[in-house]
A and B are shown apart, each in its own frame.
Chain A
């Protein structure tokens, strides 16, 4: 019960108009700027045309923005109560995709319901964050440090990661695992365990690469390590992306003048490699500006997480933004030739509805944490329901 001006009266903070005003509109503005940059680039690479990408990108963003605003006003306790169900539904869908999923590009990732196709792994990105946040909400600091109770989050992370990796969608699996681990660490895992884990993972990488990965996955990693060995085959993506970036220089070639993307030398120019298009046309300054916007989003979200009074809110917001930050860093590193080519888009900038929807739902959750930062979330003591 913190006292704060007119909002001190009981129930006052539950009024929709107040909730609406409590949404972090600066944060929203930054999101709009990023999505707008994406639309601008999509407009450019379509040859100065709204079709086929830019217009739809904006329309989608508009719809998802409304969804985000609505979700922002959903009480944190409701978020709390649906945490486990969402996770379980996500898990069930992942199992379903194993059984009846569509095979596309050699991987089982999609589930069709009527004409609606979606990737269950996207549901899991939200579901895992919610479930872990809820579980840790009822866990003492000591238990979170290191105890048998941590077997539960380990299982909660492990199950979806294994399922997604089996599709196989290594990029998303890594993303989900990293998000889960970020929450575990944020919740207070012992440094000694973290250190042991890091060493263990590092030691496990070489045998994993050699024996578990599919050929194409291994090739991507080998190509990343030495892209010049096959400039027209597997190394093509990385090389062309680097050419696009490098040739942009300080100020870029100018809007609509990026030869790499306009003449199709750049693969996946509208999705995974859109950052390279941006770099080519707007140069170092343009890139730096967009990276700054992403940084702003991350720091604002972390600040929202920090001011939350509930542990659930803290972990949910931080976990969501961890996913987002991982997206940005992995895609950025991939485009700049610092990481292997994995199918991770640049959130909000890349064309593609599914990821943008997930990210915007995540921002809805973050906004909800902010709007309901004083809400006491009480129920649950580590219990599963």
Chain B
């Protein structure tokens, strides 16, 4: 049938070799399959848990749910900082995101102009992968729904509802509360290694960080803790399914209640008008700050949205410095508002207040002429009259009698030259000069390290090296009014419902009650003696509720050789600072107020006192006990009309804006 072409044994040999090697090959294949099986066992049985975790990490994605920021309220619960809904547009960055194309699509739905487009592209460029970048904030409902309807065609785009900080009073609380703003690169850098910071939250596009004031100081309390929504996602990051049961609810931030009163604060900013300066009001019984205004102010809401370069420049370069907090960061010479403190120092030094000093309008000492603000002189006065008249000559001489260290001691006891822990940063200590201070301040100039006697007289009228801030002035006034306790100010009433320590649990002042009573009497005369420097401007028009105060002028330039300072300075920058401190009611002190009007002109009565009076009226009228006191003795129809006229201000001061500091003569 066939011819054997190969010898038979050869056939057998070939077959044998094949069988052996096929057997070997089978063995190799079997070994290979077993190796695969072993590897499977390793992955699926030994390391299964690890890979199950990785798989779940792939499958489920926790999308951060930012916590609502804690509210900031005034003492009565009026919100000073709250949150409102914000419709915004996010673009999720991905490896193959064509940002230009996405923006082209979006531009058909919402307005995106050239500069905004450039900014978005920059943001997208900087953002980490898979991070959502806010393209638009504060969209209208129409824009929001227009984008939402087309969301399926725009895979990288999400329109969502977040929350944004809102300050209902705009600028009134801007310096105290501060503002929140976008997390900057520097913030991220600072928080990078801080385990207490939620890094994911910091990177969330809607998240804002406190940048100033209470918002900054209590940022961690206000923040709360982020929650998360659990979502099943596919490899492209698209949400396949939401799992509400797996959600973690965010913990809202703590509520912070301030001691400030929105009504008083708003009125204070209102009465400041165009002026630059500060008004601080403090409760004389417990140290609560009722008002802390710096003017001019700025709208904190603009900062939340992000300020344009031009806007910021305008704010930063305006000569009245809206960004500076003049209530505690700005320091000023106190001028004559310092005289009650000098009086206290003199009483402590054992100087008899009834010793009369003659003021002829000037005084020669150390080879120069020291002028009184009243060129005609005040005649012979004791300390009470000298405070009432704010006589410079009296205080030049009294200061010289006791020396700078005695004055500095009293000044520190009254609250000057120090900062108080009110919870927010930014206070400047100012300078309370004495011999020790001179040694420190002139380290490099040994010749200047000794205290020259010629420095003491101006110290006595609150000039020279002495500088204070408005908060310190309010503290001084409150301590003077309280006449017992060394009150400290309190701004933060409660954090998350936890009441903060009151400013009343403090030691007593190191002055005998009768000394304080004497000086208070002088301050009462300033406001209520018809010849007091601020009599007309200090009438509250609230029946027998009376105010006590002290005027002050702080020179910003030298008047050497100028005989009469009235009407001398011309441009705003060269005008004197105008100060006024006051407390009321005189017979039962409750509220102390300090007003600084930068370059307000000569005489604290002109610009400072009327504003202090207006703010004081709001505080007093809000106080139910004072109200009851005012309203109880209903004036009878047949009562003598003079009484009412005498107790009232020239015009109805509650509703009218300020009288534009008209006819009164300037008093220091």
Contacts and interface: CB of A to CB of B under 8 A. Distances in A.
Q: Do A and B bind each other?
A: yes
Interface in A316-333: 318, 322, 325, 328-329, 332-333
A376 B2 contact: yes
A340 to B, nearest CB: 15
Interface string B527-545: 0000000000000000000
B654 interface: no
Nearest to B234: A263
Interface of B is mostly: helix
A249 B52 CA distance: 8
Given A242-B51, A246-B48, A288 B40 contact: yes
Interface stretch (B18-26, B503-511, B559-567, B614-622): B18-26
A274 to B, nearest CB: 15
A243 B240 CA distance: 20
Contacts of A288: 37, 40
A19 to B, nearest CB: 19
A263 B232 contact: yes
A265 to B, nearest CB: 5
B39 to A, nearest CB: 5
B241 to A, nearest CB: 10
B18 A315 contact: yes
A283 interface: yes
A250 B58 contact: no
Nearest to A247: B55
B36 A291 contact: yes
Given A187-B18, A329-B36, A140 B10 contact: yes
B32 A325 contact: yes
A246 B51 contact: yes
B17 A188 contact: yes
B18 A248 contact: no
B40 A140 contact: no
Given A185-B21, A245-B44, A284-B45, A141 B32 contact: no
B154 interface: no
Interface stretch (A30-38, A209-217, A298-306): A298-306
A370 interface: no
Nearest to A379: B5
B153 interface: no
A247 B5 contact: no
A140 B6 contact: yes
A365 interface: no
B251 to A, nearest CB: 30
A243 B40 contact: no
Contacts of B199: none
B5 A378 contact: yes
Contacts of A315: 18
Given A141-B17, A265-B235, A306-B19, A242 B43 contact: yes
B1 interface: yes
Contacts of A243: 51, 54-55, 58
A314 interface: yes
B29 A263 contact: no
A382 to B, nearest CB: 10
A242 B234 CA distance: 17
- Chain A CB within 10 Å, residue with most, of B5, B17, B36, B232: B36
B233 interface: yes
A376 to B, nearest CB: 5
Contact of B18 (A188, A280, A284): A188
B43 A311 contact: no
Nearest to B13: A141
B82 interface: no
Contact of A263 (B22, B32, B51, B58): B58
A311 B26 CA distance: 18
A237 to B, nearest CB: 12
B186 interface: no
A305 B22 contact: yes
B14 interface: yes
A245 B50 CA distance: 11
Contacts of A248: 44, 48
Given A188-B21, A294-B33, A329-B32, A245 B43 contact: yes
Contacts of A245: 40, 43-44, 51
B26 A302 contact: yes
Contact of A279 (B1, B2, B40): B40
Nearest to A142: B10
A188 B24 CA distance: 12
Contacts of B19: 306
Interface in B29-78: 29-30, 32-33, 35-37, 39-41, 43-45, 47-48, 50-52, 54-56, 58-59
B10 A302 contact: no
Contact of A336 (B26, B40, B48, B240): B40
Interface in A77-122: none
A279 B235 CA distance: 19
B364 interface: no
Nearest to B40: A287
A343 interface: no
Contacts of B3: 378
Given A246-B44, A249-B52, A288-B40, A263 B5 contact: no
Contacts of B6: 138, 140
Contacts of B30: 295, 298-299
Nearest to A233: B95
Contacts of B240: 263
A235 B393 CA distance: 89
B656 interface: no
A2 to B, nearest CB: 14
A336 B235 CA distance: 20
Interface in A212-258: 232, 240, 242-250
10 contacts: A185-B21, A246-B44, A250-B44, A264-B234, A298-B26, A298-B29, A302-B29, A306-B22, A318-B22, A337-B39
Given A188-B18, A246-B51, A291-B36, 7 more contacts: A247-B48, A247-B52, A265-B58, A283-B44, A291-B40, A299-B30, A332-B36
The 10 closest A-B pairs by CB, nearest first: A246-B51, A247-B55, A259-B59, A264-B235, A188-B17, A263-B234, A284-B44, A249-B48, A141-B13, A332-B36
